[in-house]
Amino acid sequence: MTELMQTILNSLVLSANYILLALGLSLIFGILRVLNFAHGTFYICGAYAVYALAKMAGINYFLATLMAMGVVGGLGILIEAVILFPLAEKVKVASLGAILGVSMVLEGMLSFIFEGEDVTIGSYFKGTVSLMGATLSVERIMVVILCGIIVLGLYLWIRKTRQGIAIRALAENPKVASLQGINTRSIRFLVMGIASCLAAVAGAIVTPLFYINPFMGGSIVFKALLIVAVGGMGSIEGSILAGLLIGFMESIGVTYLGPIAEVASFIVVIAIFLFRPRGLLGVEYEFH
Amino acid sequence: MNFTKGTSKGIVLIVLILVLMLLPVIFPNPARIGMFISCGVASILAMGWLMILRIGCLSLGQVAFLAIGGYTSALLAQKLGVSPWIGLLGGGVASGLVAFGIGVVFLKVRGLSLSIITFAFAEVVRLVFSTLGFFGGHGGILEIPKFNPLTLPGWGTIQFDSPFSNYYILLMILFLCGIFMWRMDHSALGRTFKSLPQNEDLAESLGVYPLRYKVINFVTACFFAGVAGAFTAHYYGCLYPGSYSVHQSIIVQIQATVGGASSVALGGLLGGFLMVMVESWLLNVDARWVFIFYGSVIIVVTFFLPDGLLSLPQKMKKVLNKT
Q: Which residue from B minimizes the CA distance to A88?
A: B303
Angstrom distances, CA of residue A277 to CA of A44, B51, B110, B186: 30, 25, 10, 34
- Report how far apart the first and last C-alpha atoms of chain B are (Å, whole number): 29
Query: What's the maximum distance between 2 C-alpha atoms anywhere in chain B?
Result: 66
Domain membership flag for residue B82: yes
- pLDDT tens for each residue of A48-104: 999 999 888 888 888 999 999 999 999 999 999 998 888 887 766 778 888 989 999
pLDDT at B215: 94
In this structure, of A176-180, B39-43, B273-277, the range with the lowest mean pLDDT score is: A176-180
In this structure, of A94-103, A127-136, B275-284, B291-300, the range with the lowest mean pLDDT score is: A127-136
- pLDDT tens for each residue of A255-283: 887 777 777 777 777 777 777 767 777 66
pLDDT at A287: 43
**Residues B254, A97: C-beta atoms closer than 8 Å:** yes
Instruction: Indicate the DSSP class of residue A131.
Output: E
Contacts of B119 in chain A (CB under 8 A): 222, 225
- pLDDT tens for each residue of A4-58: 888 888 889 889 989 999 999 988 888 888 888 899 999 999 999 999 998 888 8
Q: What is the mean pLDDT of residues B255-261?
A: 90
pLDDT at B56: 86
Domain membership flag for residue B270: no
Instruction: Indicate the DSSP class of residue A97.
Output: H
Alpha carbon of residue B225 to chain centroid = 5
Which of A102, A226, A258 has its CB closest to that of B116? Answer: A226
In this structure, of A67-71, B135-139, B276-280, the range with the lowest mean pLDDT score is: B135-139
Ramachandran region, residue B179 (left: φ > 0; alpha: ψ -120 to 50; beta: rest)? alpha
pLDDT at B4: 60
pLDDT at B243: 87
Angstrom distances, CA of residue A229 to CA of A107, A225, A274, B41, B53: 25, 6, 11, 33, 22
The DSSP H or E segment spanning A130 is strand A128-131
Yes or no: say if B231 and B18 are a contact pair by the CB < 8 Å rule. Answer: no
The DSSP H or E segment spanning A95 is helix A92-113
Which of B123, B257, B289 has its CB closest to that of A266? Answer: B123
Alpha carbon of residue A60 to chain centroid = 23
Which of A104, A116, A222 has its CB closest to that of B295? Answer: A104
Contacts of A116 in chain B (CB under 8 A): 288
**Residues B289, A108: C-beta atoms closer than 8 Å:** yes
**Residues B292, A108: C-beta atoms closer than 8 Å:** yes
Domain membership flag for residue B150: yes
pLDDT at A200: 94
Other CB atoms within 10 A of residue A253 CB: 18
HEC profile for chain B? CCCCHHHHHHHHHHHHHHHHHHHHHHCCCHHHHHHHHHHHHHHHHHHHHHHHHCCCCCCCCHHHHHHHHHHHHHHHHHHHCCCHHHHHHHHHHHHHHHHHHHHHHHCCCCCHHHHHHHHHHHHHHHHHHHHCHHHCHHHCECCCCCCCCEEECCCEEECCCCHHHHHHHHHHHHHHHHHHHHHHHCCHHHHHHHHHHHCHHHHHHCCCCHHHHHHHHHHHHHHHHHHHHHHHHHHHCCECHHHHCHHHHHHHHHHHHHHCCCCHHHHHHHHHHHHHHHHHHHHHHCCHHHHHHHHHHHHHHHHHCCCCHHHHHHHHHHHHHHC
**Residues A35, B127: C-beta atoms closer than 8 Å:** no
Q: Report d(CA B276, CA B37) in Å as an integer.
A: 10
Contacts of B306 in chain A (CB under 8 A): 90, 94
**Residues A263, B131: C-beta atoms closer than 8 Å:** yes
pLDDT band at residue B217 under the 50/70/90 scheme? very high
Q: Report d(CA A106, CA A45) in Å as an integer.
A: 8
pLDDT at A284: 55
pLDDT at A288: 37
Of the candidates A58, A56, A20, A54, the residue with the CA atom closest to the CA atom of residue A196: A20
Segment of A225-239, B12-26, B132-146, B216-230 carrying the highest mean pLDDT: B216-230
The residue segments making up the domain with residue B94 are 31-245
Q: Report d(CA A50, CA A57) in Å as an integer.
A: 10
Yes or no: say if B116 and B235 are a contact pair by the CB < 8 Å rule. Answer: no
Shortest Cα distance, chain A CAs vs residue B38, angstroms: 21
pLDDT at A283: 61
Other CB atoms within 10 A of residue B6 CB: 8
Q: Report d(CA A221, CA A36) in Å as an integer.
A: 8
Phi first, then psi: what are they for B3, rounded to 5°?
-85, 115
Domain membership flag for residue B69: yes
Please state whether beta strands A134-137 and B150-152 pair in parallel, antiparallel, or not at all (unpaired): unpaired
HEC profile for A27-63? HHHHHHCCCCCCHHHHHHHHHHHHHHHHHHCCCCHHH
Query: Which residues, 6 or more positions from A155, have their beta carbon under 8 angstroms from its beta carbon?
Result: A236
SS3 state of residue A252: helix
- pLDDT tens for each residue of A220-250: 887 888 888 888 777 788 888 889 988 888 8
Q: Report d(CA A40, CA B31) in Å as an integer.
A: 35
Domain membership flag for residue B267: no
Task: Name the domain count of chain B.
Answer: 1
In this structure, of B90-99, B114-123, B273-282, the range with the lowest mean pLDDT score is: B114-123
Of the candidates B202, B240, B221, the residue with the CA atom closest to the CA atom of residue B102: B221
Domain membership flag for residue B87: yes
pLDDT at B6: 67
Q: Give me chain B's average pLDDT, please.
A: 88
Q: Which residue from A minimizes the CA distance to B56?
A: A288
Q: Report d(CA B51, CA B43) in Å as an integer.
A: 12
Instruction: Indicate the DSSP class of residue A212.
Output: B
SS3 state of residue A129: strand
Contacts of B113 in chain A (CB under 8 A): 229, 273, 277, 287
Q: Which residue has the higher pLDDT, B30 or B100?
A: B100
A87, amino acid identity: L
Query: Which residues, 6 or more positions from A126, have their beta carbon under 8 angstroms from its beta carbon?
Result: A138, A139
- pLDDT tens for each residue of A117-172: 787 877 777 777 777 767 778 888 888 898 999 999 999 998 899 988 898 888 88
Q: Report d(CA B36, CA B29) in Å as an integer.
A: 11
Phi first, then psi: what are they for A84, rounded to 5°?
-75, -40
A216, amino acid identity: M
Q: Report d(CA B159, CA B172) in Å as an integer.
A: 16
Of the candidates B266, B262, B293, B265, the residue with the CA atom closest to the CA atom of residue B277: B293
Strand partners, B151: B157
Q: Report d(CA A226, CA A223) in Å as an integer.
A: 5
Domain membership flag for residue B262: no
Other CB atoms within 10 A of residue B135 CB: 17
Domain membership flag for residue B299: no
pLDDT for B66 beyond 90? yes
pLDDT band at residue A286 under the 50/70/90 scheme? very low
